[in-house]
Amino acid sequence: MTFLVLLGAPGAGKGTQAPILADRLGLPHVATGDLFRLAVHEGSAVGLEARRYMERGQLVPDSITVKMLLDRLAQPDAGGGAILDGFPRNLAQADILATALAERGSAVGVALEIEVPEAELVRRLSGRWICQANGHVYNESSHPPRVAGLCDLDGSTLIQREDDRRETVAARLAAQLSALREVVGYYRERGLLRTIDGLRPAAEVTEGLLAAARGAVGPGARSSEAKGRVG
């Protein structure tokens, strides 16, 4: 089994690329955010434990996150590996993941980073607007309204939430990028990192990610082959 780690800041395009990679590579897409939501919805023991932290606005401890992740990776569809999205988020999680996979005779085969400059990330994330009447969502860069400031569907005024304002986005992103850079460095030091230019058109980003993934996990591939940059 070989596992792929998909890295990128919010707004880098992981949400777009992960399902495409899963389909093209024939591997399940395992997102920790989805696992939390499912576990809480189903009311499982680990879900209830995670929910207590989430309701208090606290981070779920690594021990709970890892248990949930490993339970998912033990399912039959992950027998040949998986694409991990949203994990690891810090150095401690990266070490825990490496140890847990090694105990199962597996490892991370490649870490795929979608790299986008911070200024562009802020622009993308702060471009979200929502219609006042029914909550229809627009984005200045990816899904703008036909008439600026008005909803295409009901004509109501578009407003921007406080969380989506540029200053708020920039502050939140700065904290997230610090941990991401450490994880990127962790995989770079181990020769497992491949970086793809996230400013390219989405289709080109997809092809860059696929080339890096196949080169790392294909027949006869070695971990040292995963080092370098695409683009």
| Known catalytic residue at 227 | no
Which tokens belong to 183?
Answer: 């994880």
| Known catalytic residue at 161 | yes
Which tokens belong to 162?
Answer: 């406080």
- Kindly state the helix (H) or strand (E) to which residue 194 belongs, with its residue range: strand 193-197
Q: 9, 1, 34: which is closest to 176 by C-alpha?
A: 9
Which residues contact residue 209 at a Cβ distance below 8 angstroms, ignoring those fewer than 6 apart?
Answer: 17, 21, 112, 114, 196
| Known catalytic residue at 188 | no
| Known catalytic residue at 146 | no
Which residues contact residue 33 at a Cβ distance below 8 angstroms, ignoring those fewer than 6 apart?
Answer: 86
Point out the catalytic residue in the list 52, 161, 165, 222: 161
Point out the catalytic residue in the list 24, 172, 200, 214: 172
| Known catalytic residue at 89 | yes
d(Cα 80, Cα 3) in Å, to the nearest integer? 8
Point out the catalytic residue in the list 72, 89, 124, 194: 89
Residues annotated as catalytic (active site), given as ranges: 14, 89, 128, 161, 172
